[in-house]
Structure 1
Amino acid sequence: MVQRLLVGETLSLDLVNTEWVEHGAPVDFLADADAADVWFRDYGFDPESERLDALLASRRAIRECLDEPGDAADAALNDVLSHGHERVLMVEGRPEKAIETDPGWYAAWSAAFAYTTLLATQPDRVRQCAHPDCVLYFFDTSRNGGRRWHSMETCGARTKSARHYRRQVSVEKATDPR
């Protein structure tokens, strides 16, 4: 099974980040049925009662909202959201939220709903990694909101290393007597 690059983000971003590019080739963590079951379990969903096609539809819709926001992206996300709803009930004198979804859509709907919640609270903190070859998204939790890479150890280091290399080559060309 393929090892995921970035985990620990919000549910919606962790779902989107099940696709990435590695050595120039696209990788889809959910393409393996066993990996999909792991993803469902990791987030508290029962793989036996969830539909992978629904989860993939949610991932496509969220990614479309991130990559190409607009009417088509809104429609795709709304389609996923139409498979469930959240309501408030009074239970023993206290309000409690109840989620109802179509069979097999609980994980997909939850990820889409989590994305809308993220947008409603701090949309400016949802970022794509600044490395030009990276497709991962993250929620910027830095104090000043200036985080640029999903990981300083991978993309951040690669970007800084490439910048240093370009400077060195430029200096060598400038000082070459030929």
Structure 2
Amino acid sequence: MSAYLTPLTGPADSRVTLLDLALGGPGPDAVPPRTPHPADTRPLLGEPLALDLLNTRWDTPDGPRDLLADADGHRIWLASAGLADRCTADPASRAATRQAREALHAAARAPRDPQSLAAVDRLLEHGALRHRLTPTGPSAAVEVDDPAWLAGWLALDDYLHLLAAAPERIRSCAGPHRLPLWFYDTSRNGMRRWCSMAECGNRAKAARYQRRAQVTAAR
């Protein structure tokens, strides 16, 4: 394997994902939160990298959309994910990222399915985290067998960290979506159900109110 990122210094423990390391690591010197690209019009932004990749497909009144359907959308997603300066934006990279997205989607929908798990494992073989001890202390570098796999591999690794932290907090929106958006529930009580309370949550409340009104009227 060849390293396609410069060595990344900092402790790599269960609280630090490879994306954290790639973007500078958490702590007082961490980089600011990711800033979405101005042309990124997806309805849900800012989720952890793995779920943000899943959310590159979503529903619209005019039908399904796919941000990775073309080269421009791929570049927009890399920018929103904070990876534009680290990952290639070429056809091979887009194909690899789409393949990682398919594996993530299958695993998220069927987290106990052996075939889905095996598919993620196969793609994880494209990369590794190489630890080294240097005169200035521990360092780590992400290594992939092909630079096209860096973004997808980081997303797969991020998903593993989410599973290790709190798998029950990985949720898909309970709204009536053909392509539900995914989110990591950081609410205090862990009871979030909607990608957006202002949209899906309010629609669900309105639907419940209407059903109750219909039942009352029928009595």
Q: State which of 149, 164, 170 in structure 2 corresponds to 1:126.
A: 170
What code does the residue aligned with 2:169 have?
Answer: R
Q: State which of 112, 119, 133 in structure 2 corresponds to 1:76.
A: 119
- Pair 1:157 & 2:195 matched: no
SS of the residue aligned with 2:116? Answer: helix
* Cα contact 2:40–2:76 (8 A) shared by 1: no
In 2, Cα distance between equivalents of 1:155 and 1:24: 17
SS of the residue aligned with 2:47? Answer: coil
Q: Which aligned pairs between 1:1-178 and structure 2 lie closer than 5 A?
A: 3-23=41-61, 25-43=63-81, 44-45=83-84, 46-48=87-89, 51-69=93-111, 70-101=113-144, 102-133=146-177, 135-174=180-219
| Runs of 4+ deviating beyond 4 Å | none
> Is the helix fraction higher in 1 or 2?
1
What code does the residue aligned with 2:152 have?
Answer: A
In 1, Cα distance between equivalents of 2:216 and 2:187: 34
* Cα contact 1:88–1:97 (8 A) shared by 2: yes
Counterpart of 2:36 in structure 1 is none
The Cα RMSD (Å) is: 1.8
Pairwise CA distance, 1:76 = 1.4
**CA-to-aligned-CA distance 1:116-173 (integer Å, 9 cap, x gap):** 1111111111111111326111100001111111110111111111111111122122
Is there any run of 5+ residues in structure 1 with no aligned partner, and where? none
SS of the residue aligned with 1:104? Answer: helix
In 2, Cα distance between equivalents of 1:77 and 1:169: 47
Pairwise CA distance, 1:35 = 1.1
SS of the residue aligned with 2:128? Answer: strand
SS of the residue aligned with 1:111? Answer: helix
* Cα contact 2:128–2:142 (8 A) shared by 1: yes
TM-score using structure 2 length: 0.74
SS of the residue aligned with 1:13? Answer: helix
In 2, Cα distance between equivalents of 1:148 and 1:37: 30
What code does the residue aligned with 1:122 have?
Answer: A
Structure 1 pair 20/173, CA: closer, same or farther in 2 (3 Å)?
same
20-29 or 57-66, larger mean C-alpha shift: 20-29
* Cα contact 1:41–1:47 (8 A) shared by 2: no
What code does the residue aligned with 2:128 have?
Answer: H
53-62 or 63-72, larger mean C-alpha shift: 63-72
Pairwise CA distance, 1:103 = 2.3
Pairwise CA distance, 1:93 = 4.0
* Cα contact 2:132–2:140 (8 A) shared by 1: yes
Pairwise CA distance, 1:81 = 0.7
| Identity of matched residues, % | 40
- Report the count of equivalent residues: 174
Pairwise CA distance, 1:48 = 3.6
What code does the residue aligned with 1:90 have?
Answer: L
